A and B are shown apart, each in its own frame.
Chain A
C-alpha cells in the first residue's frame, strides 16, 4: 500500500508538474499568471485525439498537438498579452481567464458537449514492483515527465535560450538594453509553454480515457496552487510543489479516505507552507541556483 501510493503519487505529481511548468516559465518572464495555458492543454488533447483517430500513431498525435497548441500560444502572446502588458498584472490575468472560459465553449461548439474517449494503447508493459502495479500509461507519464523536466532544466541552465530567459526574467528592460531581443524570447517561451500544455493534455486524455470541453477546470486551479507554492516563476520549485501535492493527495485518500475534497488538499498544503515560508518553497526565478 505504501509503495503503490508512492508510485501513484509520483505519477500524479509528474502530471501536475507538466501542467504547471509552462505557466511557470511564462510567469517567470512576464509576471502573468497565464490561465489560458490550460486552454492550450484542452486544445492539445482534442488535436491529439483527432490526429490519433486518423493515424493511430501516438507520436504523430503528440507532435501535431504540440504544434497546434504552440501556434495558439504564439497568437495569444502576440495579440492578447503583448498589447496589454504594461497595464499591471490584473488585466492580463482577467484577459487570460476570459480566453480560458471562451475556449471551453468553443471546444463544446466544435467538438460537441459529450466526453470523447481516447482509446490509445501505450506500447509499454505493465510492470509489477513488489506488490504495486505500474500500468503502461503510468510508465509513459513517468518517462515523458522525467524527459521533459530534465530537458527544461538543461535548457534553462546550459543553453543560450536559458540564459536569455533568466536575463529577461530578472530584468526585461536591462536585458533589452543589453541587446536581448526580449520579444523573441517571450514568443519562444510561449511556444514552449503551450507545447508542454499539449503534452499534458494528451497524457491526461490517455490516462483517464476521456477528453471533454471542461477538462481544464481542475488543472487550472491546481496549477495556480502549485505555481504559488513553488515560489512563483521558479521551475524547480514548481516541480517540487507538484510532487509534494501529488504525494499528499494520494496518501491522504489512501489512508484517510475522501475526508476532504481532493482539490482542497492542494490548497491546505499551500496555506500551511505559506504560513511557514511566505516566499514559497523556492523563491525567485532561477532554476534552483
Chain B
C-alpha cells in the first residue's frame, strides 16, 4: 500500500512536470515576446525590418490583438502589392504586456539587436512615451498608431503621432456636444489616465470658448462598473449634457447605468469606445443617439476603407476597430514615405514629415506638424446599434494641434 502510494506520488509528480512542460510549450509556441517574421524575403534585396510592439498579453490584450492583427494584414497587403521598391517588409513583433519597463527593453532590443529601419507603436501612451527616447537617440523613425499623449511627438523629430492628439479630439467633442447637440450645462466623466486627462483639457478649453458651463468633471478608474451614482450627482447639479471620455469596457457599464437611470440627455463619447466587437455589438441599440469622435469612418466611400474592412473581417472573423485601423494606416504611411524618399531611417523620417493629403483608412492625412498628424475629426452617431456618419469637423483652427 505504501509502495503503491509512493508510485502514485511519483506518477503524479511526473504528470505535473509534463503539464508544466506542456504549458511552457504552448507559451513558447504562442510566444508573443519572440519576434515573428511575417512576409517572406522574396523580391529584390534584403527585407526591410519594421519593429512593432503592442500589449498582446495582460489587461489590454484585446487592443494588442487588434493592433497586431492589423499590422500583419498591412505588411501582407504591402508585400502582395510588390513591397517597397522591390523589397519586402518584415514585421518584428513584440508583446509589451502594457508595461512601460517592458517597452524600454523592447525598444533597446529593436534598435541594437534586430536593427530595424522603422517602428510602429501599437501600444498605449505610457509604453510609447517610455520607448520613444530610445528610438529618437538611435535616429529610428516611429509612428505611434493610436497613443494620444501630446508628449510623444515632443520627444524629438523622429517621433510621429498617427492619431489626432487628445487635445484636438477633446475640442471636437466639445463642438459635438455644444454646437451640434445644443447642450449648455455639461458634465464630464473621464477615465483617469493621460488619454482621459488630455481629452478633458481640450474639451474644457473649447467648451468654455463656446460659452457652455461645466458643472462637474470627474475621473473614474480602470474597471469602474457603476456610473449611476456619479450620473445622479451630475443631474442634481443641473447637467443637461454629458461628455464620456471612457474606453469600451467602462463605456459599456456607463451605458448600462445611463439606461437604468432612464437618461435622455445629449451624450458625446470618444474613440475609446470605437470597437464593433467590444462596444457596438454588446451595447446595441441601448446607446442609440450617442455621438462620438473618431478617425475611423466605416461609412466612407474610399475604396481603401472598404477594402481594409473586408480584408480584416475575412482574415480574423470579426469587424476591425479604430485601434486596428490606425495601426494599418501607420504601415501605409511608412511604405509611402519609403517610396517617395528612400528606405534609410533618415529618409523615412523625411518621407513621413513630407506626407501631404495622403488617403488612408482613417481619413485624409493633410500633413504632420511637429510630428502630430493634421486630419479631420469624424463625428459618428449610433443608430440602431450601428455607428453612422454624423458630421465631419475640418475647421483648421480646431484640428491643428
* A contact residues vs B (CB 8 Å cutoff): 1, 5, 8, 12, 78-79, 102, 104-106, 108-109, 112-115, 117, 133, 135, 208-210, 212-214, 217-218, 250, 253-254, 257-258, 261-263
Can you list 13 A-B pairs, Cβ within 8 angstroms, ordered by A? A102-B23, A106-B23, A114-B318, A115-B249, A115-B282, A208-B256, A209-B252, A212-B249, A214-B58, A253-B226, A254-B229, A258-B219, A261-B192
A72, B347: Cα distance in complex, Å: 56
A135 touching B225, Cβ below 8 Å: no
Q: Across the interface, which residues of A come within 8 angstroms of B315, CB to CB?
A: none
Q: Across the interface, which residues of B come within 8 angstroms of A253, CB to CB?
A: 226, 229-230
A73, B39: Cα distance in complex, Å: 44
Q: Across the interface, which residues of B come within 8 angstroms of A213, CB to CB?
A: 61
A254, B228: Cα distance in complex, Å: 8
B216 touching A254, Cβ below 8 Å: no
B interface, how many residues as a size bin?
Answer: 35 or more
Q: How far is the CB of B169 from chain A (nearest CB, A)?
A: 22
Using known A-B contacts A79-B12, A113-B61, determine if residue A258 contacts B216 with beta carbons closer than 8 Å.
no
Q: Across the interface, which residues of A come within 8 angstroms of B307, CB to CB?
A: none
| Closest B residue, CB atoms, query A217 | B59
- 1/0 contact string of B220-231 vs chain A (CB within 8 Å): 110111101110
A257 touching B62, Cβ below 8 Å: no
Q: How far is the CB of B252 from chain A (nearest CB, A)?
A: 7
B229 touching A250, Cβ below 8 Å: yes
A149, B176: Cα distance in complex, Å: 49
Q: How far is the CB of B262 from chain A (nearest CB, A)?
A: 10
Q: Which 9 A-B pairs have the closest CB atoms?
A: A113-B61, A254-B229, A117-B282, A113-B62, A261-B221, A214-B59, A253-B229, A113-B65, A114-B62
A108 touching B226, Cβ below 8 Å: no
A5 touching B61, Cβ below 8 Å: no
B23 touching A113, Cβ below 8 Å: no
A258 touching B221, Cβ below 8 Å: yes
A102, B252: Cα distance in complex, Å: 27
Q: Across the interface, which residues of B come within 8 angstroms of A8, CB to CB?
A: 226, 228-229
Q: Across the interface, which residues of B come within 8 angstroms of A108, CB to CB?
A: 57, 61
Interface centre among B229, B256, B281, by most chain A C-beta atoms within 10 angstroms, is: B229
B64 touching A113, Cβ below 8 Å: yes
B233 contacts partner chain A, Cβ-Cβ < 8 Å: yes
Q: How far is the CB of A85 from chain B (nearest CB, A)?
A: 14
Q: Across the interface, which residues of A come within 8 angstroms of B218, CB to CB?
A: 257-258
Name the interface residues of B44-92: CB closer than 8 Å to any CB of A: 56-59, 61-62, 64-65
